[in-house]
Structure 1
């Protein structure tokens, strides 16, 4: 098999690979795009965003804003040092965003917002 024939097959395979790569990257950057969550922070927040949101009775009325909570669930950082990830049946997480902590319980069928505190 000559060099030009091998080069041709290589270029065919490379072009097919590039088409797939462009397809996946375009999907990832779109609104309905793919979401690759490999890190623990991203996985926990993605799991919480997929569940219905409920508010605890002790939470003041001014903090019962779903857009505020969704900002925590998209841009926040989970503090795994304070969180109790082994609790049953609901795991307790502290999510921090701009020196404000959100105390939230992640249950199998819902999430329960318990408290919001400035640190």
Structure 2
């Protein structure tokens, strides 16, 4: 890994840590039914073009933190094919927070683009 690669890795790590919660709320807000962790990971892989690849295990603590904050509800259901699964769904508070975070994200994105694209 050369010096540029290490800087890119650090930047991507910092950037993803600030956006994972937003993305998880967004996925669950669009879900028609509650989703368990592996389903969420697969959805992110389908739409994320590798942006979060290799970070799947990091999603589970974030899901727990969002639940603890009251932004997600979860319940465990038995599975006939393996261990029980924890299903997550966004709460009304989570939807309100998602709206605010989305506005903050768009303002930040627009600002960064205005600087980089000049």
Q: How does the TM-score come out when normalised to structure 1? A: 0.23
Structure possessing the higher radius of gyration over alpha carbons: 1
Q: Which structure's relative contact order is higher, taking Cα pairs within 8 Å and 6+ residues apart?
A: 2
Structure in which a larger fraction of residues adopt helix = 2
Q: How does the TM-score come out when normalised to structure 2? A: 0.23
Structure in which a larger fraction of residues adopt strand = 1
